[in-house]
Structure 1
Amino acid sequence: MSGAKPLAWDDLRLVKAVAQAQGMAGAAAELGIDHSTVFRRLGALETALGVTLFERRRAGYALTSTGEEMVQSAERIEAEVAQLERRLQGREIAPAGEIRVTTADSLLVHLLTPLFARFQATYPDIRLDVVIGNTALNLSRRDADIAIRATDSPPDTLVGRRIGLIAWALYGRGSDFAGPSAISLEDEAVNWVALAEDMAGLKVVRDARDRLSSRQLRYRANSVLALAEAIEAGIGIGHMPCFIGDVRPALVRLSAAIPDYQAGLWLLTHQELRHSPRIRVFMDFIAAQLVPLRPLIEGASVSPSRIAAEE
C-alpha cells in the first residue's frame, strides 16, 4: 500500500453510513450526497485498501470482518469528538450559544412553551433548538444537550433533577358523563382509547394491551396529545396525564389519580455539560418555573366537582 491515499475521517463516515443503512440509498441520504457518489467512493476505498469491506447480499450490504473493524474505529472517533465538544462547552464563561432540548409534545404544549419564552426573555443570548419525540435521544452522542422527560429510570450516564411525579387518571368527555359513573378496564360496554405499542414502556400502555379486548379498544395513538384529542372527540375514554386532562374544559376525570401509572418528570443533561453556564442557567431556571406547577403535574389541582367518580 506504499503511496496509497491515507485513510480519512470521511472514509470512516462513509463505511459507517453504509453499514447502518445496509445499502447505498440510506447512506446517501445520511451523508447528503447522491447514490452514485456513495457507490463510487466505496469502490475506490476498497480498491485503495485492497480489501473487501462489504458482502453484497440480496437483503443488503453486510460488513466483512475488516469492515466491522473500520466501523468500530469510526464509532470510537465519533464518541471522542463528542466528548471533546462537551468538555470545551463546559469551559464556557458566559451563558450564551445554543441549547438543544428534547421533550415530548404533550410536555411542550401543556407545560414548557411559556417557560421557554420566559427563559429566552431573561437570557436573550441563548438560542433554543427543541426536538419533539416520545423516544429519548442519545445525550452522550450530542443528539441533544438536555432532555425533559417522564421516566422512572433515567440513564446512569445523565445527571439532573426530578421535578415531581406526573399523575395519570381516567378521562372521558364531559357531555358523555354528566353524573358519577364507576368504570373499569373490564367494562365491555364502554369504548376505550389508548397509547400505541411503541410506548409500551409505560405501565398504562401494558395494562391496556393486557386487559382490554379488541372490541373495547377502538383507537390507539403514539402521542399523548393525539390521545387527548380522541377522548375530547368522543371516540372513547382513556388514561392520560392529569396536567393535560385537568385543563381541558370538555374533559372530566372518571377516576382519582392512579399511583401505578405515575412517572417522574426529569430535567437531564450529560455529566460533562452540567457545569456549562448556559446548561446550568437553563436547568436552574426551568426547574424553578416548574416547581409552582407541581400541583397540576401531580394531579392535585383539580376541584372535586370535576371528578365524575372516584375509582
Structure 2
Amino acid sequence: MAEPFKNLGWDDFRLIKAVADARGLPAAAAAIGVNHSTVFRRLKQIEESLGSALFERHRTGYALTPAGEEMVALANRLDEEITAAARKLAGREPAPSGELRVTTPDSLLIHLLMPMLATFRERYPEVRLDIVLSNQALNLSKRDADVAVRATDHPPENLVGRRVARIAWALYGRAQDFPTPGDVTKDQLDARNWVSLGDTLGALKAVKFVQENVAPERVAYKINSVLGLAEAVEAGLGIGHIPCLIGDSRPSLVRLAPPDDDYAADLWLLTHPDLRHSPRVRAFLDFLAVEIARHRRFIEGEAGHQRDVPLIDPPHEASSARETMT
C-alpha cells in the first residue's frame, strides 16, 4: 500500500478530511477555499491512485467507505503532528520584512482596508507596503503582486487563499428624500432617477438589474468604479445599489430594500502557492483575516448604520484565523 501514497501530499489528506466533514463537495470546496470542480477532479485522482473508493455517493451526501475511514484517521494524526511541529518552529521564523505588493480595488482600500493597513504597519514596521489599485486581476504568478484582496465568487484556481466575508449590496437613497424608507413603493422607485456602474461592468447582477428594469432615460449617472457610487447618491443624482459597508457608514443614506444576496460577492485574500509561506505574506494574510472577521457582520450588511467594532483601533494581539489555503 506504500506505493500509492507516494503521490499524495498533505493537501490531499486535507481535501479528504474536508469532504468527510462536510459530507459533500460544495461545502468542502468552500471550507478549503477552492472550486467545486477542483475538489471533484482531485478526489477522483486520489481514489484512482489508491485503487480504492473513499466515499459512497448517496443522495443525502458522501459517506466514508472503510478505506475512507482509514484515510481520515491518518489525516487527523498528520494534522496533529503538523500543528505540533509548526508550534515548535514558529519561534524560529525570521521576522516579517521587505516589500509586500498588494493589489485591491480602490473602493475596498478607501472604505475598508486603509485603517487596517496602518495598524499592520505599526505591528510590522519592517514590512513596506506597495499598494496597486486595480479592478482587474493581476498576474500573481508573474509577481505583479504578492497578495490580492478581491471581491469575487470565482477566484483563480492557480491561487490559494481565504474567503473571509461576503460583501452585501442593497438599494440606497438619500435619507432626506425617503423619510420613511420602509414604506417606499415600487411606483416611487420607478419615478426616481438611478445611478449605476457602467456597462463595462455589465456582468455584475446589480448592473444587469438596471439594464433590464430601469428605463435608459432614468439612468442619470454611470461610473466605472464602485468608488463614487455612494457620493452620487448623496449628491441627489439618483438611487442605486451600493455595498452595505459603504452605504451603512453614511447617515445621509438609507436602505430602500434589504440586502439582495444575488448581488453579493465573496471577499478573498489570495496569494500564489509559492508565496504563502513567506513570513511577510503569512503575517499580512493572518492579520487581515482577523481584522476583517471582526467587521464581518458590518461587511455582510447585518449591523445597520453602525460598525460593531471601530475600524481604527489600537494595536492588539491577533487570534488565529482559520486557514483555508490549499
The alignment partner of 1:148 has SS state of: strand
Pair 1:185–1:145, CA change in 2 (3 A): farther
1:147-183 CA-partner distances (Å, limit 9, x unpaired): 1010000000110000111100000011111113435
Q: For 1:82-231, what aligned pairs fall within 5 Å after superposition?
A: 93-180=94-181, 181-184=183-186, 187-231=189-233
After superposing on structure 2, the runs of 4+ consecutive aligned residues of structure 1 that deviate more than 6 Å are none
* CA distance, structure 2, for counterparts of residue 184 and residue 265 of structure 1: 31
- State how far apart, in whole Å, the 1-side matches of 2:191 and 2:122 are: 51
- Counterpart-to-counterpart distance in 2, 1:186 and 1:196: 24
Residue 278 of structure 2: aligned partner: 276
Code of the residue aligned with 1:232 in structure 2: it is E
Partner AA of 2:257 in structure 1:
S
Any conservation in 1 of the 2:152–2:267 contact (CA below 8 Å)?
yes
Distance (Å, rounded) in 2 between the aligned partners of 1:158 and 1:184: 43
Q: Could you report, residue by residue, the CA deviation over 1:77-130 in whole angstroms, capped at 9, with x for unpaired residues?
A: xxxxxxxxxxxxxxx944110111111111111110010011010000000001
- State the Cα distance separating 1:188 from its structure 2 match: 3.4
The one-letter code sitting in structure 2 at the alignment partner of 1:135 is: Q
Q: Distance in 2 between matches of 1:277 and 1:102?
A: 18
Given that residues 186 and 211 in structure 1 are in contact (C-alpha distance below 8 angstroms), is that contact kept between their aligned partners in structure 2? no
For structure 2, the 5+ residue unaligned runs are: 1-92, 307-326
Distance 1:161 1:217, change over 3 A: same
Match of 1:301 in 2: 303
Q: TM-score, normalised by structure 2?
A: 0.63
Please list, as runs of the form range in 1=range in 2, the aligned pairs for 1:25-44 lying within 5 A after superposition.
Answer: none
Partner of 2:309: none
1:260 to 259, 262, 285: 262
What is the CA–CA distance in structure 2 between the aligned matches of 1:273 and 1:254, rounded to whole Å?
A: 43
Residue correspondences, number: 213
Identical amino acids, percent of aligned pairs: 55
2:321 match: none
CA contact (8 A) 2:169 2:301 kept: yes
Structure 1 unaligned blocks of 5 or more? 1-91, 305-311
Quick one: structure 1 residues 205 and 159, their matched pair in 2 at CA, closer, same or farther if it must change by over 3 Å?
same
Deviation at 1:267, TM superposition (A): 0.4
RMSD: 1.8
Q: Cα distance, 1:184 vs. partner? A: 4.6
Instruction: Tell me what 1:245 maps to.
Output: 247
Structure 1 residue 186, shift from structure 2 partner:
9.9
Give secondary structure in 2 for the equivalent of 1:176: coil
How far the C-alpha of 1:201 sits from its partner, in A, is 2.9
What is the CA-CA distance between 1:137 and the residue it aligns to? 1.3
Kindly indicate whether the alpha-carbon contact (under 8 Å) linking 1:185 and 1:212 is maintained by their aligned counterparts in 2: no
Q: Look up the match of 1:289.
A: 291
TM-score, structure 1 length as denominator?
A: 0.66
Q: Counterpart amino acid of 1:108?
A: L
Measured in 2, the distance between the counterparts of 1:288 and 1:222 equals 31
Q: Distance in 2 between matches of 1:205 and 1:225?
A: 15
Larger radius of gyration: 1
- Deviations 1:198-256, CA, capped at 9 Å, x for gaps: 22232111222222211111110012121111000000000010000000111111111
Per-residue deviation, residues 24-52 of structure 1 (Å, max 9, x unmatched)? xxxxxxxxxxxxxxxxxxxxxxxxxxxxx
1:95 counterpart SS class:
coil
- 1:192–1:244 distance in 2 versus 1, CA, 3 Å: same
CA distance in 1 between counterparts of 2:151 and 2:256 reads 23
Q: Distance in 2 between matches of 1:122 and 1:104?
A: 24
Q: Which moved more, 1:185-194 or 1:245-254?
A: 185-194
State whether residues 251 and 305 of structure 2, in contact with CA within 8 Å, keep that contact through their aligned partners in structure 1. no
Take 1:239 and 1:207, find their aligned partners in 2: how far apart are those partners?
10
Structure 1 counterpart of 2:312: none
CA distance in structure 1 between the partners assigned to 2:305 and 2:112 by the alignment: 20
* Structure 2 residue identity aligned to 1:169: A
